[in-house]
Amino acid sequence: MKIYIETFGCTFNQADSQIMAGLLKKNGQELVENLEEAELLILNTCYVKQPTEQKIISRMKKIQDRYPEKKLVITGCMVEIDPEKLEKAAPLASWIGPHKVTSTPEVIESISKGEVVRETGYGTDYKVCLPKIRSNPLIHIIQICEGCDGNCSYCCTRFARGSLQSYPEEMIVEEARSAVEEGCVEIQITAQDTAAYGKDTGASLSHLINEVAGIEGDFRIRVGMMHPKSMMNDVDGLVEAFKNPRVYKFLHIPIQSGSDGVLMDMNRGHSVEEFMEIAMRFQSEIPEISIATDIIVGYPTEEDSDFAGTMDVIERLRPDFLNISKYMHRPGTRSSALDEIDHKTMKARSKSLTDLKSEIGYGNNLKLEGSTQTVTVTGKGRKGGYMGRTNSYKQVIVSDAVPGSFISVDITLAKSTYLMGIVK
């Protein structure tokens, strides 16, 4: 059967798709890159934000209207979070829940015989050391755990991913070693919260990073998002692990709001001061560190003074990367019982923060003009040239390079979201 996989959402979801692809290929199925020639489409869904939900449902409708003869399989978070809406949107589709990814070959076999199959519910299968087909042959994504131990009031992803399940360290290291031996130059460590790794097993993220960094070869490690609350007991270890030359100096630590009151309403489990102490510790000991953070604008209890606190925190932190989301209710969350704030107010706040983001991003990047950076080249740029990352994970575009190489680049031009340079 010819199968096409389309993926929405985060790095973790991308890894799920890569596993499904690897398992299907191992089972003798044919994967195609063109929907037109596929007999079966796997739509791997994300459900973290309402705009993404709307985009996915629209995509389902379009596929079913245009290709009624093709079999449709829905995977990802929507399967567990909103089965009622999914049933209405795609009544003839089969489902594979996030914890049932390893059953994909068997499900597809049954579908090929004319059955509608729905594999849902939680499971304990490890998502490491499984066959994978990488979307970029130079970048390997490793899921180190699934689920989280948080209880944020606005988050519906935890309903799909469940409670924390950390995977064995030795298996993670072995998968990373195999990827490096196969030519990967970037290892992405991912989870819903990478800093939660090992809280259920006694392991720790800092030790895992050191073990992966100890693999022989030339490569970089990108550590995924870490919840401030989960970092608090291992800040020393994490700072030291990030000093390893094989680890990108890139810290993704979401604050979500600059107001302690709103953070308490969100049930985040940390204060603004605790967040800033962690961020400033990294900035102090690793001056070249790039910091990424996330903000939810317009949480139902956010007042003007709360948003002013958010603007102040961003001014002080001056993050290199800022992900801004306007609050919207999500299914089953506690915050969805509250009244949303006026959308005009929310939009105005979002614009103010976006303007500040651009100003800070450009200012931070401007400091690198005239410098020489070591760049890991990971592929072609979307608009031409070649794209790579500095050791601080800043995106750099050069006119000519060899993918998979490590090059010295003179930075000639700064933009708010990337850099341009000339290979030395």
pLDDT at residue 43 in the model:
97
CATH level 2 (architecture), domain 139-366: Alpha-Beta Horseshoe (3.80)
pLDDT at 123: 87
Q: Minimal CA–CA distance to 72: which of 116, 110, 106?
A: 116
* 121-154 tens-digit pLDDT: 998 899 999 999 999 999 999 999 999 999 999 9
What pLDDT shows up at residue 221? 98
> What are the beta bridge partners of residue 387?
379, 397
Q: What is the pLDDT of residues 48-89, one digit of tens each?
A: 999 999 999 999 999 999 999 999 999 999 999 999 999 999
Q: What is the pLDDT of residue 346?
A: 97
Q: Tokens for 294?
A: 């996330």
Burial of 167 (0-12, 13-18, 19+ CB in 10 A): buried
Tens of pLDDT, residue by residue over 159-184, are: 999 999 999 999 999 999 999 999 99
Q: What is the CATH number of domain 372-423?
A: 2.40.50.140
Tell me the torsion sign for CA atoms 89, 93, 96, 102.
Answer: negative
Decide yes or no: CATH 3.40.50.12160 for domain 2-119.
yes
Query: Please, what is the average pLDDT of the chain?
Result: 96
Instruction: Indicate whether 196 pLDDT > 90.
Output: yes
Reduced 3-state DSSP string for the chain: CEEEEEECCCHHHHHHHHHHHHHHHHCCCEECCCHHHCCEEEEEECCCCHHHHHHHHHHHHHHHHHCCCCEEEEEEHHHHHCHHHHHHHCCCCEEECHHHHHHHHHHHHHHHCCCCCEECCCCCCCCCCCCCCCCCCCEEEEECEECECCCCCCCCHHHHHCECEECCHHHHHHHHHHHHHCCCCEEEEECCCHHHCCCCCCCCHHHHHHHHHCCCCCCEEEECCCCHHHHHHHHHHHHHHHCCCCECCEEECCCECCCHHHHHHHCCCCCHHHHHHHHHHHHHHCCCCEEEEEEEECCCCCCHHHHHHHHHHHHHHCCCEEEEEECCCCCCCHHHHCCCCCHHHHHHHHHHHHHHHHHHHHHHHHCCCCCEEEEEEEEECCCCCEEEEECCCCEEEECCCCCCCEEEEEEEEECCCCEEEEEC
Is the pLDDT at 5 greater than 90, yes or no?
A: yes
Is residue 90 over pLDDT 90?
Answer: yes
Domain range annotation of the chain: 2-119, 139-366, 372-423
> Residue 383: its pLDDT value, please?
86
Calculate the alpha carbon distances from 225 to 11, 34, 80, 251, 351 in Å: 10, 32, 23, 8, 24
